Amino acid sequence: MRNFNNIEIKELIIHRADNTKGKEQLVLSELGLLEALNKDQAIQILDVVTGHAMNAMKDKKNRQAFFLDKEINEVYNASSSVFNNEVSFIEVSHILTRRLFQFMRGNSNISAADLVFLLFIESGNLCLGMLKLDYKDHYMSEVKVDDNGKRFLTLSHRGVGWPELGTRLQKAMFILPEIQDQEFQLYVLDRQTRRDSDDIAVFFAEQFLNIQLIADEFIHTKGFINFTRDFVDANEIPPVKAQKIKDAARNLVITAKEIDIEEFSNMHFGEGSQEVIEYMDFLSSKGLTRMSFTKDTEYAEVLTKKVRIQGTWFNLDLTDYTAYKDESRFELTWVDESSHIANITLKNARIKKVE
């Protein structure tokens, strides 16, 4: 959600979803905060919630997604009823909180939390958001005196509360109204990746929301680099050719605006070859759904910062990618086409320190 601007919160409500074993508690507010609080109190709460919401929206882990099984998808239907003024915001927040809590109950590995629902305006569109604010232990230093009258500082537990502003949230969602020709319907922040038989990783996106994540520019750009390297390493491609392919992928992301994976594969694996088919299938199996995409400029910038060369008895870090490509400063010469033996030469290097 990196393109989101400032938001204007129209309605706001908080519910408690505490699944702590032996202390399970679901508390549903019956009154929205903007209605319940005076102006000064409301401004204070709005500042905190807006801060958490904007941080979640700008988080690089944010992913576009679309709903599955719309006819029976409770989250999709509940949010649509808000946008169509069929059901109140508070009632929908109750529906979604009960649904999420049913997946949290009985699983102590899922953090207890307050669920903050907000109805807000962004770029002229009415949107529905939910932040899962996991409870965090809060400590404060405390002055004490021992039996001999000597003073010392210790920590005192002051209870549990929301994460501090600036803390990365684990889970959030922001649902947009349906717009014609728009591929996605919501943004999802879910920091826990999926692993087989891991209920924590699947409960939010797969069970609660029932969505399909869409790989965005950052995911595609990073995936193109990493999965190209993985494919080359796994397929016993001769080291000289393998390194040329890896360097070409990196150079393409640094210099080009648009990445065409099919064109890249034809150029480096041979048009119409079995390797092209296997490479394209491999990237698709890793979740890269688009074979042509606009690169993520921030990730491209990262690739210009450093090149690491790992050998059997050394690690060499070049802090500037241009040096790696500049034969007047750096040269890597392979002994032969099929071995991993190479000679490395650093040229015109000013030595600051040898330790």
Cβ 2 vs Cβ 39: under 8 Å: no
Mind listing the pLDDT tens digit for each residue in 242-288?
Answer: 999 999 999 999 999 999 999 999 999 999 899 999 999 999 888 78
**Mean pLDDT score across all residues of the chain:** 89
Single-letter amino acid, residue 202: V
How far apart, in whole angstroms, are the C-alpha atoms of residue 167 and residue 170?
9
> Regarding beta strands 136-145 and 292-294, do their DSSP bridges make them parallel or antiparallel, or are they unpaired?
unpaired
DSSP string, 201-240: HHIIIIIII-EEEE--HHHHHHHHHHHHHHHHHHTT--HH
- Confidence bin at 199 (pLDDT 50/70/90): low
Residue 101: its pLDDT value, please? 95
For range 106-135, the mean pLDDT: 92
For range 150-176, the mean pLDDT: 88
- Confidence bin at 169 (pLDDT 50/70/90): very high
How far apart, in whole angstroms, are the C-alpha atoms of residue 5 and residue 195?
34
Residue 2: its pLDDT value, please? 46
Cα 56–Cα 87–Cα 47 angle in degrees, nearest 5: 30
180 has pLDDT over 70: no
97 has pLDDT over 70: yes
